[in-house]
Amino acid sequence: MIKNQALNSVNIKHKSLLELNAKGTVAIAATAMKTIITGVPHVIDFNANHPFIFFILDNKTQSIVFMGRYNQPPQEKKTSTKEISFSKATNHYTKEPLYLLDNKKIKTLEGIDAQDIESINILPVAEAIDKYGDIGKNGAIIINN
């Protein structure tokens, strides 16, 4: 989104999973990013302050494999570059996955320092149930610092 600006430091970690089965579709993703722009950048402000629909397309067939609807944009809140920010897509499958930070169950990803993250792993539903039992019934996002 920012062109012709030098980046001093970039640290991006992303994992995603799309699972299709007879019970429905599960999409889970987690991204952590830190960038430092040198100089005075020309700022383009994109504010998704209204509901919108998004699609995941199969590049080869151009078929829609996932469709989501974002209903509730967050209230304006300033965040530090060290925080993980994320938004939730709502669709027919809105259950929360199991979140683990250094093998300890947590309720949210907010407040985690992106610079401390060594790895992000996403377990599909079947694998999460095998490893964690019933609490893994919606998949799992595992973060290691």
55 in a structural domain: no
Say yes or no to pLDDT of 93 above 50: no
Domain count, the chain: 1
- Calpha distance 50→74 (Å, rounded): 10
Tell me which residue of 64, 65, 67 sits closest to 54, measured CA to CA.
Answer: 67
Say yes or no to pLDDT of 2 above 60: no
Say yes or no to pLDDT of 90 above 80: no
What value does the mean pLDDT take over residues 21-33?
Answer: 81
Full residue range of the structural domain in which residue 100 is found: 7-38+80-86+95-144
The confidence score (pLDDT) of residue 130 equals 93
115 in a structural domain: yes
Say yes or no to pLDDT of 103 above 50: yes
Tell me which residue of 15, 38, 12 sits closest to 114, measured CA to CA.
Answer: 12
Pairing of strands 140-144, 98-101: parallel
Query: Cβ(26)–Cβ(122) under 8 Å?
Result: no
